[in-house]
Amino acid sequence: MGELNVSDSKNCWSKNEMVDQVIEMLNDGSSLNLGIGIPTLVAQRIPPEKGIWIHSENGVLGVAGRPTPESVSATLINAGKETISVKKGASFFDSAMSFGMIRGGHIDVCVLGGMQVDAEGSLANWMIPGKKVTGMGGAMDLVHGAKLVIVMLTHFSKRGEVKLMHRCSLPLTGKRVVHKVVTDLGVFTPEGAAFQIERLAPGVTEEQLGMSDSLISY
């Protein structure tokens, strides 16, 4: 399996280049929730002129990225428990209001990490039975609440297994909920039976994706 893993090759996108793929999908002025891990990098690369409002489910709308040494506050964090800064006009609220914003459809886009995503648009990202439990946190609410659900993940696991599959084998976070998938090799749309390839990183070929023909729609 190891030789299938091309994520180390120079052709794949860096994390920042993956983030830029996500940023291209955002309409100016939209509200955006960012999951723990790679998605939090999005906050630091969004051009301010896009006027995006970043929501963090622990109770803040208007996240601006990392704090300065002067502005850092122990009571000002994001969902990844990192200290943050906020932009002018940011607001704070309790967790029920925060998830009301999510469940009620007031958050336009959410970006989550994932362990597996499948062609039906189902996502698994909260546990590996008997081995690892991270918990779902807000992910099960987010995947049903946001209008556009984007999953960011490395194309291959450390063991060289493709994370894009026909059916997730791990416990689901949500069924048929994902709209776009960004990996270090490309951007994909789950279409039910297979994934549509939206674009590939420069120099990456379909053969390098490690996906069978039946998993790619033409």
Partner 1 sequence: MTSKVFKDAEAALFDMKDGVSVMSGGFGLCGIPENSILEIRRLGLKNLHAISNNIGNSGRGLAWLLKEKQISRATCSYVGGNPDLEAQMLANEVEVTLVPQGTFSERIRAAGMGIRGFYTPAGHGTEIAEGKESRTFDIPCLLELPLAADFAIIKAQKGDAYGNLWFQETARNFSPLMAMAARVTIVEVDECVDVGEI
Q: List residues binding partner 1 (CB under 8 A).
A: 36, 56-60, 73-77, 79, 81, 92-96, 98-100, 102-103, 122, 126, 130, 132-141, 144-145, 171-176
Question: Closest separation between CB of residue 176 and partner 1, Å?
Answer: 7
Q: Minimum distance between the CB of residue 128 and partner 1, rounded to whole angstroms? A: 11
Q: How far is the CB of 21 from partner 1 (least distance, A)?
A: 25
The answer to whether 199 touches 206, Cβ cutoff 8 Å, is no
Q: How far is the CB of 136 from partner 1 (least distance, A)?
A: 5
Between 147 and 199, name the residue whose CB sits nearer to partner 1: 147
Q: Which residue has the tokens 């309790």?
A: 94
Judged by CB, which is closer to partner 1: 168, or 211?
A: 168
The smaller minimum CB distance to partner 1, of residues 21 and 56, is found at 56
* H helix count then E strand count, the chain: 4, 15
Q: Which of 38, 1, 48, 49 shows the shortest CA–CA distance to 16?
A: 38
Check: CB of residue 201 under 8 Å from CB of residue 16.
no
Nearer CB in complex with partner 1: 110/194: 110
Tokens, residue 131: 């081995």
Report the chain's terminal Cα–Cα distance, integer Å.
Answer: 26
Residues 57, 79 contacting (CB under 8 angstroms) = yes
Residues recognised as catalytic: 57
